[in-house]
C-alpha cells in the first residue's frame, strides 16, 4: 500500500510540477495589440517577441514566471500557471531608457493599429509604410518566426535601433518589399556591418545580398 501511494504521489508530482508546455496569448495596449513586446521566461535565456498581431507563444512550466517588457511600458511579471495568458501593459511615464526622455519614447513607439494585415497591405505601399515609420524613428525587419530569440538578436535590435517582427506568411511578398527599404536604410547608416549580424530568416535578405 505504501509503495502504491509513493508511486501515485510521484506520478502526481511529475504531472503537476515542472512540466513544460506552450503558453500563448495576446499583449495589448488598452484595447490595441502590441507587436514587438519582449517575453522572457524569468531566470532563463528563453525569450520571444509578440508578432504583428500582438500574439506570442513560449514554453514554460507552471512554476515559472513570464516577464513582459516594452519601451515606454511598465514591465509585467506573471506566473505561467495557465496555457493562455493575455496581457495589458500600462504606460510608464517615469521610466527612462538609456537616458531618453519619456516624451521621446512615446513618439518612437512601434505603431499600434486596429486594422488587419490585409487592410494595411492594400491601403499603403511598402515604401510608404516604411517612410511613415521612419518619420517616427521606427525601423522594422520582418522575419518568418520569432519562436527563438537569441542574445545576438537582442543585441542586433539594440545596436541598430531595429525591431524584429514576425510577418503573416500570406503577405510575405509585401513584407519582403518593406524589408528592402529597411536594408537600404541600414546600408546607408551602417555600411555593410549589419549584414553579418542579421537573422537568416529576415524576409528578402538573400535576394538583397545577391
> At 6, is the pLDDT very low, low, confident or very high (cuts 50, 70, 90)?
very low
Mean pLDDT of 64-83: 89
Highest mean pLDDT, choosing among 14-23, 50-59, 189-198: 189-198
Nearest CA among 88, 86, 111 for reference residue 163? 111
Q: At what angle do helices 172-190 and 151-160 cross, to 10 degrees?
A: 60
Q: Residue 116: its pLDDT value, please?
A: 62
- CA separation for the pair 34, 53 (Å, rounded): 7
Predicted pLDDT at 197: 95
167-186 confidence digits (pLDDT tens): 778 888 999 999 999 999 99
pTM: 0.54
Q: What CATH number should be reported for the domain whose range is 21-88?
A: 2.60.40.1120
pLDDT score, position 100: 35
Q: Kindly state the average pLDDT of the residues 179-200.
A: 95
Q: What sections of the chain are H helices per DSSP?
A: 2-16, 102-107, 117-123, 126-135, 151-160, 172-190, 205-209
Task: For 12-47, write each residue's pLDDT tens digit.
Answer: 444 445 688 888 889 988 767 888 888 999 988 888
CA distance 140 to 179: 8
Q: Using pLDDT thresholds of 50, 70 and 90, give the confidence band for residue 195.
A: very high
Q: Where in the chain is the domain with CATH 2.60.40.1120?
A: 21-88
Indicate whether 189 pLDDT > 90.
yes
pLDDT at 80: 94
Which of the given ranges, 77-81, 105-109, 134-138, has the highest pLDDT on average?
77-81
Torsion-angle region of 153 (φ positive above 0: left; ψ -120 to 50: alpha; else: beta): alpha
Identify which has the larger pLDDT, 14 or 72: 72
Residue partners of 121: CB distance under 8 A and separation at least 6:
171, 174
Please, are residues 19 and 62 in contact by the beta-carbon 8 Å criterion? Answer: yes
The pLDDT score that the predictor gives to residue 166 is 80
Q: Of 124, 143, 146, 122, whose CA–CA distance to 133 is shortest?
A: 124
Q: Which residue has the higher pLDDT, 105 or 75?
A: 75
Determine the pLDDT at residue 38.
Answer: 87
Contacts of 154 (CB under 8 A, 6+ apart): 38, 47
| Average confidence score pLDDT of the chain | 78
Amino acid at each position: 500500500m505504501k509503495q502504491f501511494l509513493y508511486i501515485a504521489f510521484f506520478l502526481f508530482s511529475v504531472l503537476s510540477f515542472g512540466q513544460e508546455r506552450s503558453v500563448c496569448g495576446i499583449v495589448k495596449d488598452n484595447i490595441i495589440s502590441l507587436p514587438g513586446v519582449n517575453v522572457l521566461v524569468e531566470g532563463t535565456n528563453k525569450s520571444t517577441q509578440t508578432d504583428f498581431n500582438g500574439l506570442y507563444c513560449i514554453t514554460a512550466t507552471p512554476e515559472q514566471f513570464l516577464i513582459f517588457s516594452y519601451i515606454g511600458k511598465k514591465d509585467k511579471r506573471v506566473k505561467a500557471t495557465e496555457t493562455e495568458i493575455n496581457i495589458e501593459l500600462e504606460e510608464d511615464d517615469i521610466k527612462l531608457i538609456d537616458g531618453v526622455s519619456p516624451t521621446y519614447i512615446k513618439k518612437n513607439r512601434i505603431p499600434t493599429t486596429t486594422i488587419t494585415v490585409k487592410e494595411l497591405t492594400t491601403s499603403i505601399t511598402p515604401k510608404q509604410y516604411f517612410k511613415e515609420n521612419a518619420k517616427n524613428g521606427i525601423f522594422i525587419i520582418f522575419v518568418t518566426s520569432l519562436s527563438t530569440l537569441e542574445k545576438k538578436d537582442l543585441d542586433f535590435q539594440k545596436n541598430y535601433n531595429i525591431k524584429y517582427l514576425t510577418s503573416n506568411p500570406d503577405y510575405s511578398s509585401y513584407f519582403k518589399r518593406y524589408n528592402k527599404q529597411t536594408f537600404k536604410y541600414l546600408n546607408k547608416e551602417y555600411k555593410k556591418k549589419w549584414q553579418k549580424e542579421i537573422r537568416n530568416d529576415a524576409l528578402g535578405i538573400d535576394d538583397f545580398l545577391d
